[in-house]
Amino acid sequence: MSNRTFTMIKPDATRKGDTGAILNHIVKAGFTVKAMKWTKLTAEQAGLFYEIHKERPFYGELVEFMSSGPIVAAILEKENAVADFRKLIGATNPAQAEEGTIRKLYAASVGENAVHGSDSDENAAIEGDFFFSKLERF
Ligand code: DAT
Ligand code: MG
């Protein structure tokens, strides 16, 4: 089992000024930042990142939203990183997320849900490689 995961703070959260609070939450939960960048995705880049969802009915909306403003991308390290981070962020739909989770605290809807977290070790590696070169992480 890998000890890394990948996250993005999504455009709804950067727009609301919640970036610092969310990063604080992540670091206080024991994750170490191994790479981080503030950037903005084009629709084409967002479409590639979420290609796995291209047949889903919300794909167009997701791509438009994810390219609508700045994001923060980061590689995080912790024992059991993928599962522990999914637990920290809570359910995809904030209405169903547990109290105290990042999505419960900062997300407004299932479409605009504040943070991304990788769903497997394999995808964590693929997603980290999408954003960061070897020189940009340690
Ligand atoms: P997660 O981000 O929890 O891994 P996912 O991989 O199923 O969720 O979906 C990716 C993103 O797509 C999700 O964070 C927000 C958006 N999304 C998922 N389900 C949706 C829905 N029913 N309506 C609108 N957007 C949705
Ligand atoms: Mg997912």
> Range of 82's domain?
4-136
Report the chain's mean pLDDT, rounded to a whole number: 97
Tally of domains in the chain: 1
Q: What is the CATH number of the domain that holds 84?
A: 3.30.70.141
For residue 64, report the distance from its CA to the centre of ligand 2, in Å.
17
Residues 6+ apart with CB under 8 A from 14: 69, 70, 71, 72
Q: What is the mean pLDDT of residues 123-127?
A: 97
Which pLDDT belongs to residue 1? 63
Q: What is the mean pLDDT of residues 121-134?
A: 97
* Residue of 8, 51, 64, 110 best suited for mutating to test ligand 1, as the one with most atoms within 8 Å of CB: 110
Distance, in Å, from the CA atom of 36 to the CA atom of 97, rounded to the nearest integer, reads 26
How many CA within 13 A on the CB side of residue 1? 10
Residues with CB under 5 A from ligand 2 (ion): 119
Residues 6+ apart with CB under 8 A from 119: 82, 86
Q: What is the mean pLDDT of residues 105-125?
A: 98
